[in-house]
């Protein structure tokens, strides 16, 4: 891919401006604003449907290369206390995760061009102090014992300018019979002095090369309680300094950084009198267990002193930091909808999707709620290239498009919350301030059933395509907007349509949707596995979301015990179900099974013949099979499917209208949160929990909920030129939901 890009916002109202950042390795490219209707390439479906929208932004632009600098670190700006250190001591608690993965900086005050300063690093798996005199001369001193991965160490290094003696401490905090304590290493070096420089102090990386230089020697693992002193400290003094800054050491301490403070911010606090506060860059993980965590408390808010570690990764990324190439001020007459900046240069193409929200006071009766939080959770996932498990889950080879292949080669574009970092720890933060190449029309997912391999964004365009084709006048809003605007965003609408896979929700989003229902709003749940994981958004950094995968649920990695609380907000993470808010409470159904081969049809149940449901099945035969066709797996019930369950919160007056039970293969399996003991008989031909239940029920103040309970449902809407029973049922429900007459039981 020679051209990629992203926008500074996911949505904007008329009169607001979006900025677009583009990397183009060709001399020029053309940008056009297009209204997206359908993004599915499958020739059996509607095909790609987009309309160019004339705007001043539509024109040719000069291409330029913009790169992403991945890897997290802490930056402490240069200041007098950091300059001209002659003798010094640097120390920290260290939990390396890839000690054998090349050189990695722990604490550095290093200028590469002049080879000046110091850097405490891991080199060849050993603790090493690197010193330069500023004249090109460099010496290194290393311990004689390799660091073990995922073990806590006390590490320290001192340099005595008078004696030119270096002392290193590498002390494991756990005693193993076969692992000798490396203890201390002493060596006299030849350098006459350590050169001073104007470089910043950094934790977790250093800069190499001239000028600003490139980020280098990126560290994987946790650092807790780094300290810097302006003289050689005795070992007993180092121990005192681990616990704070005693009065007798205040004049000697340059900085004593406490990562247990400001956990929810990017700020890093120095508790020494010098107040050399810093900032995290590229969002290393916080709210992480420190070296002194004893397991008595699982909540960092209760015992913050035990959560003084930051977990750095060499592949962290928050904001790609590209410069702006062009901007769009949304025209006043541009209708609400799903749009994109389409970028083309020769045969190269990329899209940057965004939403145009309605102007305030001009909302329509119907809104499609785009599940952008779920897009962020899956942003740039590497399932096709990282996880052979995908082929077992789907019973077929994983399709690979150019986006997947590009992401496999360009890990600096960052991973999804389904990926693991290069050190094996789970990716718990995801940002939209980077190109998200699987949030694109024409993208082919590694997931998805036979036929259209659609997942997330493209699958949701089946809904916008149906709405456009049926002539509905609708707005598009995003769940990120819902997080920030709450109930006020939903209040103007009589009907909300969900996306096909609205899996991730913050507390603000959850509460707003529930309040909307209680005030008479109507919700059409067009998918499955919705309202499943709890997420948090960063209070200060836009476009940044956090997931903690704890306790249970379908997941590709698990949070370590003690790290279940979001660092951004302090809220408990994991499944909403485990916090008394199962999806059945919101939707009448909740995640029950998944499989990725072929989809199944629905068959009517007695509830569909209740007079309350008559409007739903108008024009549908008594014994008619529903949805034995479709672009996703050949049926309307597939990929991930939900069931009704009063024990989990399905309202007792709910009508279960139809079910796909008995129609699924054994590729479909019951979700793991249902299991207490693993047993045979979990597949679709054997287990009653493998089913999609279509439901309907009334809510307070004349509202109602209808749930399809299948991700594949929307993929059946366009069958036979939209003349089919899936389309008809959806149309019947929407027409009645748009009728202001209240629902009454």
Nearest to 669 by CA among 376, 389, 378: 389
CB under 8 Å to 576, separation ≥6 — which residues?
Answer: 505, 510, 531, 532, 533, 534, 582, 583
Contact 524, 500 (CB under 8 A): no
- Shared domain check, 137 and 124: yes
Q: Quick one: pLDDT band at residue 386, thresholds 50, 70, 90?
A: confident
Q: How far apart are CA 595 and CA 598, in angstroms?
A: 8
pLDDT at residue 123 is higher than 80: yes
Q: How far is CA 106 from CA 310, 371, 645, in A?
A: 12, 39, 51
> CATH number for the domain including 87?
2.60.120.200
What does the pLDDT look like over 209-226, one tens digit per residue? 877 789 999 999 999 999
**186 found inside a domain:** yes
- Shared domain check, 250 and 108: yes
pLDDT at residue 351 is higher than 70: yes
- Shared domain check, 174 and 256: yes
- Shared domain check, 341 and 302: no
**101 found inside a domain:** yes
Q: How far apart are CA 454 and CA 639, in angstroms?
A: 10
pLDDT: which is higher, 455 or 316: 316
- What average pLDDT does this structure show over 483-491? 98
Task: State residue 450's pLDDT score.
Answer: 53
**593 found inside a domain:** yes
Task: State residue 212's pLDDT score.
Answer: 79
Task: State residue 395's pLDDT score.
Answer: 78
**175 found inside a domain:** yes
- Shared domain check, 405 and 283: no
Contact 122, 219 (CB under 8 A): yes
pLDDT at residue 451 is higher than 90: no
Structural domain count, the chain: 3
- Shared domain check, 327 and 305: no
Task: State residue 210's pLDDT score.
Answer: 79
pTM of the prediction?
0.96
pLDDT at residue 383 is higher than 90: no
Q: How far apart are CA 745 and CA 740, in angstroms?
A: 16
- Pairing assessment for the beta strands 326-329 and 165-172 based on DSSP bridges: unpaired
> Mean pLDDT across the chain, nearest whole number?
95
- What average pLDDT does this structure show over 701-709? 98
Domain hosting 719: range is 368-738
- Shared domain check, 333 and 268: no
**39 found inside a domain:** yes
What does the pLDDT look like over 414-425, one tens digit per residue? 999 999 999 999
What does the pLDDT look like over 157-181, one tens digit per residue? 999 999 999 999 999 999 877 655 5
- Shared domain check, 151 and 34: no
Task: State residue 128's pLDDT score.
Answer: 98
**520 found inside a domain:** yes
> CATH number for the domain including 338?
2.60.40.10
Task: State residue 547's pLDDT score.
Answer: 98
**745 found inside a domain:** no
- Shared domain check, 405 and 329: no
Task: State residue 448's pLDDT score.
Answer: 60
- Shared domain check, 81 and 50: no
Q: State the DSSP string of 248-277.
A: GGTTTEEEEEETTSSTTSSEEEE-STT---
What does the pLDDT look like over 238-295, one tens digit per residue? 999 999 999 999 999 999 999 999 999 999 999 999 999 999 999 999 999 999 999 9
Q: How far is CA 388 from CA 82, 313, 385, 397, 437, in A?
A: 49, 24, 8, 9, 21
b/e per residue 405-424 (b: at least 16 CB within 10 A): ebbeebbebbbbbbbbbbbe
Task: State residue 377's pLDDT score.
Answer: 98
Least confident residue range of 177-191, 227-241, 592-606, 690-704: 177-191
**338 found inside a domain:** yes
- Shared domain check, 256 and 335: no
Task: State residue 393's pLDDT score.
Answer: 75
pLDDT at residue 674 is higher than 80: yes
In the chain, what percentage of residues exceed pLDDT 70? 98
Task: State residue 205's pLDDT score.
Answer: 98
Three-state secondary structure of 82-105: HCCCCCEEEEEEEEECCCCCCCEE
Least confident residue range of 60-74, 385-399, 401-415, 627-641: 385-399
- Shared domain check, 382 and 280: no
pLDDT: which is higher, 474 or 444: 474
Contact 380, 516 (CB under 8 A): no
Collapsed DSSP state (helix, strand, coil) of residue 187: strand
């Amino acid at each position: 891919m020679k051209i990629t890009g992203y926008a500074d916002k996911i949505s904007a109202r008329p009169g607001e401006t979006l900025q677009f950042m583009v990397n183009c390795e060709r001399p020029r490219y053309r940008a056009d604003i297009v209204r997206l209707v359908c993004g599915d390439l499958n020739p059996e479906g509607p095909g790609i449907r987009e309309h160019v929208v004339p705007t001043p932004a539509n024109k040719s632009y000069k291409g330029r290369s913009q790169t992403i600098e991945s890897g997290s670190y802490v930056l402490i700006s240069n200041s007098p206390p950091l300059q001209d250190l002659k003798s010094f001591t640097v120390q920290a608690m260290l939990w390396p995760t890839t000690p054998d993965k090349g050189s990695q900086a722990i604490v550095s005050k290093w200028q590469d061009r002049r080879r000046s300063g110091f850097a405490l690093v891991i080199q060849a798996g050993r603790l090493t102090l690197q010193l330069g005199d500023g004249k090109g001369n460099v010496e290194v001193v290393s311990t004689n014992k390799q660091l073990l991965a995922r073990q806590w160490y006390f590490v320290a290094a001192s340099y005595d300018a008078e004696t030119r003696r270096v002392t290193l401490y590498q002390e494991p905090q756990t005693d193993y019979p076969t692992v000798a304590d490396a203890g201390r290493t002493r060596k006299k070096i030849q350098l006459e002095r350590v050169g001073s420089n104007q470089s910043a102090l950094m934790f977790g990386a250093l800069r190499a090369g001239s000028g600003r230089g490139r980020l280098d020697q990126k560290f994987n693992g946790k650092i807790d309680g780094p300290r810097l002193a302006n003289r050689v400290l005795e070992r007993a003094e180092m121990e005192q300094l681990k616990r704070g800054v005693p009065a007798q050491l205040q004049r000697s301490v340059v900085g004593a950084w406490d990562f247990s403070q400001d956990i929810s911010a990017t700020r890093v606090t120095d508790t020494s009198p010098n107040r050399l506060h810093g900032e995290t860059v590229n969002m290393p993980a916080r709210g992480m267990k420190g070296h002194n965590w004893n397991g008595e408390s699982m909540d960092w808010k209760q015992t913050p002193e035990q959560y003084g570690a930051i977990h750095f990764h060499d592949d962290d990324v928050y904001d790609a930091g590209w410069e702006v190439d062009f901007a769009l001020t949304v025209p006043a007459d541009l209708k609400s909808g799903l749009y994109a900046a389409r970028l083309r240069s020769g045969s190269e193409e990329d899209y940057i999707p965004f939403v145009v929200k309605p102007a305030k006071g001009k909302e329509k009766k119907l809104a499609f709620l785009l599940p952008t939080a779920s897009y962020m959770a899956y942003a740039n996932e590497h399932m096709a290239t990282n996880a052979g498990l995908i082929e077992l889950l789907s019973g077929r080879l994983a399709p690979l498009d150019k986006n997947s292949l590009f992401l496999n080669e360009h890990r600096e574009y960052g991973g999804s919350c389904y990926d693991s970092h290069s050190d094996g720890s789970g990716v718990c933060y995801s940002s939209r301030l980077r190109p998200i190449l699987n949030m694109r029309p024409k993208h082919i997912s590694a997931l998805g059933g036979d036929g259209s391999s659609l997942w997330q964004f493209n699958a949701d365009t089946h809904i916008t395509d149906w709405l456009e084709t049926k002539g509905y006048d609708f707005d598009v809003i995003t769940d990120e907007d819902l997080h920030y605007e709450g109930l006020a965003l939903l209040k103007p609408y009589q009907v909300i349509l969900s996306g096909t896979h609205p899996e991730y929700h913050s507390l603000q989003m959850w509460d707003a949707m529930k309040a909307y229902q209680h005030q008479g709003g109507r919700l059409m749940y067009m998918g499955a596995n919705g309202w499943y994981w709890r997420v948090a958004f960063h209070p200060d950094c836009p476009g940044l979301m956090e997931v903690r995968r704890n306790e249970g649920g379908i997941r590709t990695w698990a949070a370590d015990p003690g790290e279940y609380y979001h660092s951004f907000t302090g809220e408990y993470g994991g499944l909403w179900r485990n916090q008394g808010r199962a999806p059945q409470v919101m939707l009448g159904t909740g995640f029950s099974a998944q499989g990725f081969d072929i989809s199944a049809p629905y068959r009517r149940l007695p509830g569909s013949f209740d007079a309350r449901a008559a409007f739903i099945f108008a024009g549908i035969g008594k014994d008619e099979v529903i949805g034995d066709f479709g672009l996703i797996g050949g049926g309307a019930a597939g990929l991930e499917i939900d069931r009704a369950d009063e024990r989990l919160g399905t309202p007792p007056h709910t009508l279960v209208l139809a079910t796909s039970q008995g129609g699924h293969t054994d590729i479909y399996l019951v979700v793991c949160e249902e299991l207490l003991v693993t047993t045979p008989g979990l597949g679709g031909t054997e287990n009653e929990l493998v089913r999609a239940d279509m439901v309907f029920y009334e809510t307070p103040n004349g509202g109602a909920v209808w749930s399809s309970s299948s991700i594949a449902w929307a993929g059946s809407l366009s069958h036979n030129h939209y003349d089919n029973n899936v389309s008809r049922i959806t149309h019947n429900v929407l027409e009645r939901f748009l009728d202001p007459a209240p629902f009454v039981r």
